Amino acid sequence: MTKPRRLVAGNWKMNLLRAEALTLARDIARRAGAAGAGGLRPKGLGAEILLCPPATLLMTLAEVIGESLGGGAGGIALGGQDCHPAEKGAHTGDISAPMLKDAGCRYVILGHSERRRDHGESDALIRAKARTARNAGLVPIICVGETEAERDAGSTLDVVASQLGLSLPDDFAAGEFVVAYEPVWAIGTGRTPTEADVALVHAHIRAHLGERAVPILYGGSVKAENAAVLLGIANVDGALVGGASLDAEEFWAIVRAAGASGSSPD
């Protein structure tokens, strides 16, 4: 099986106004430019960089990233944090996958635990969103992960397998999606699973995916201080970073750790 590409995604969640976002994006773009931008994988880094800001900032970031790195989004990709399962229509307050694509996005995060919790999103809804995103030319990042109660009950692998099986359309091929494992109890808490726990779940996901060379990201309190360890675990192909992605230096340390922990395919 071809080795999956490495990806570090910054999920800014519901944070930052325009001035703050411009400062952060320009700082990250400057660092990527200094590393030698080449396509979507800056030379010397070995990892693709993705920024997922709030929808209000997508157009602003698309412009600043392109300007800072000489156009074409340089070495940084842009992503949305969610999309509606319909391509258009009477859905006040929602955003469609074609709109994200039009704004310059290449990816979209789907099924994040905060969407499942705050908005009651089901696996079936995430599956529908994933299909719409793929049809619009986006790469969905499908999130899975167990709660603390499910972990304590010893059902982590069953929960993750069920979420993945029900959220991921059966006909999706390598290159059309990314999986992110985020133990719900570790998001924003500063707590992380043991290396053995992460390795076990990622191996379980890899087995579920079969021969498809799909990146599997780890998320859940990823920081500069633990990035090298987490990203060095087998079947961990990158990170979905929350709070640490709001600090350019911290986020960049994670990007560098991703590149150092494994070579990217051509």
- Give the domains, in start order, of the chain with CATH numbers: 7-260 (3.20.20.70)
Which residue is catalytic, options 84, 121, 182, 202? 182
pTM over 0.75: yes
The question of whether 112 is a catalytic residue gets the answer yes
Which residue is catalytic, options 84, 112, 121, 146? 112
The question of whether 84 is a catalytic residue gets the answer no
Using DSSP's 3-state secondary structure scheme, residue 107 falls into strand
Q: Which of 227, 233, 216, 230 is nearest to 249 (CA)?
A: 227
Say if residues 219 and 180 touch (Cβ distance below 8 Å).
Answer: yes
Higher pLDDT, 67 or 257: 257
- Tell me the average pLDDT across 29-51: 72
**pLDDT, the chain, mean:** 90
How confident is the model over 152-179, as pLDDT tens digits? 999 999 999 999 999 999 999 999 999 9
Show Cβ contacts of residue 37 under 8 Å, excluding neighbours closer than 6 positions: 43, 69, 70, 74, 75
Q: Is the predicted pLDDT of residue 40 greater than 50, yes or no?
A: no
How confident is the model over 101-159, as pLDDT tens digits? 999 999 999 999 999 999 999 999 999 999 999 999 999 999 999 999 999 999 999 99
Q: What is the pLDDT of residue 106?
A: 95
Q: Is the predicted pLDDT of residue 181 greater than 90, yes or no?
A: yes
Q: What is the pLDDT of residue 70?
A: 43
